[in-house]
Amino acid sequence: MKQNEYLNKIEELKQEIKKVVVGQDLLVRDLLITLFCKGHILIEWVPGLAKTLTVSSLSRALDLDFSRVQFTPDLLPSDLIGARVYTPETKEFYIKTGPIVSNFVLADEINRAPSKVQSALLEAMAERQVTIADKTIKLDEPFIVLATQNPIEQDGTYTLPEAQLDRFLFKTIVSYPSEQEEIEIMKNNSLNSDLSGIKKVLWKKDILAIQKLIEDIFVDQNIYEYIKDIVTYTRDLNNEVWKYLFYWASPRASIALLSAGKALAYLSNRDFVIPEDIKEIAKQVLRHRLILNYEAIAENITVDELIEKVLNNVKVK
């Protein structure tokens, strides 16, 4: 299948999602970029904005194994990755895998799980494998974790460790619908829509082929320099951004900017990356990697404002 045919399939997939989800075009785009970049995505904002519905709708349109885990404070690692189970009849143990052994894993309210569960999830995200007793199980490709969290709740929640945050390719903030979209939501009652009408559009072999096409997108040396300058600007002691941060962008941020920029170029029907691609996905890549210090919090400075300053001060050479 040629590139244009895959792009037509992607447009068809978006239309399938729109059967039940009103708006959220940016979230759908970010989900697709994450999938095609072999990454993971953290989706954040208040309840009722169709975060889970959008992810579930996308999973219906893909020929991938799908599982959903509702994270709770009493969740155990074995509930996520599986366990070794004893069979009385045979007097033997066997491995029963958990919901993480899938292609498309929705981790709902990820910040409600305790540290041992987060550690087990981190192994799957980082190494694409899980360890049960003395057995290591490789996860099938493609593998993507789509995690949601609600930032306004505090009871029964745990702050995600920085090492785990850095494993997410994107952190996407879901927006409120427009006034017209609000009316459409009420008419369609799309928060409780039936997903059975969504048909499969992209198959596993298509996704793997698209991933390969994106890897081959051309990147000019100036784009490499531009990404390098953006990331190193956050570490520069002599600018106004550095003093507001506890932690700065790691080399993994550079890789994420490059990969996501190539995916965005592909979705824009280009075989090369332009600076606007990097600018467009910079906030999603950097907002969970730049950790604000107390001075920033005291002055009500947001991480997105700091990223804007970085983009305004870093020029393409």
Structure tokens at 135: 């057995």
Amino acid occupying residue 132: I
Which residues lie across from 83 on neighbouring strands?
A: 96
Domain map (residue ranges) of the chain: 3-191, 215-313
Alpha-carbon span 11 to 5, nearest angstrom: 10
Angle at 72 between CA 67 and CA 148, to 5 degrees: 55
H helix intervals, 128-220: 162-165, 179-188, 204-215
- For the chain, what is the HEC assignment? CCHHHHHHHHHHHHHHHCCCCCCCHHHHHHHHHHHHCCCCEEEECCCCCCHHHHHHHHHHCEECCEEEEECCCCCCHHHHHEEEEEECCCCEEEEEECCCCCCEEEEECHHHCCHHHHHHHHHHHHHCEEEECCEEEECCCCCEEEEEECCCCCCCCCCCCHHHHCCCCEEEECCCCCHHHHHHHHHHCHHHCCHHHCCCCEEHHHHHHHHHHHHCCECCHHHHHHHHHHHHHCCCCCCCCHHHEEECCCHHHHHHHHHHHHHHHHHCCCCECCHHHHHHHHHHHHCCCCEECHHHHHCCCCHHHHHHHHHHHCCCC
Q: In this structure, are residues 284 and 34 in contact, taking their beta carbons and an 8 Å threshold?
A: no
Mean pLDDT of residues grouped by 10 in the chain (317 residues)? 80 83 82 93 74 79 86 88 84 86 88 85 89 87 87 63 84 81 71 70 90 94 95 87 86 94 95 95 93 89 92 89
CATH class of 3-191: alpha beta
Q: Provide the pLDDT for residue 280.
A: 95
Structure tokens at 123: 């192994």
Q: In this structure, are residues 111 and 159 in contact, taking their beta carbons and an 8 Å threshold?
A: yes
Q: Provide the pLDDT for residue 131.
A: 86
Fold designation for 215-313: Helicase, Ruva Protein; domain 3 (1.10.8)
Sign of CA dihedral 182, 185, 186, 192: negative
Q: Provide the pLDDT for residue 85.
A: 86
Q: How many separate helices (H) and strands (E) can be counted in the chain?
A: 13, 13
pTM: 0.88
State the pairing for strand pair 202-203/62-63. Answer: parallel
Q: In this structure, are residues 119 and 78 in contact, taking their beta carbons and an 8 Å threshold?
A: no
State the pairing for strand pair 170-173/202-203. Answer: unpaired
Q: In this structure, are residues 41 and 173 in contact, taking their beta carbons and an 8 Å threshold?
A: no
Before 99, cis peptide (omega within 30)? no
Q: Which helix (H) or strand (E) holds 197?
A: none
Task: Report the candidate in 145, 147, 138 with the shortest Cα–Cα distance to residue 103.
Answer: 145
- As a residue count, the chain comes to 317
DSSP 8-class letter at 160: P
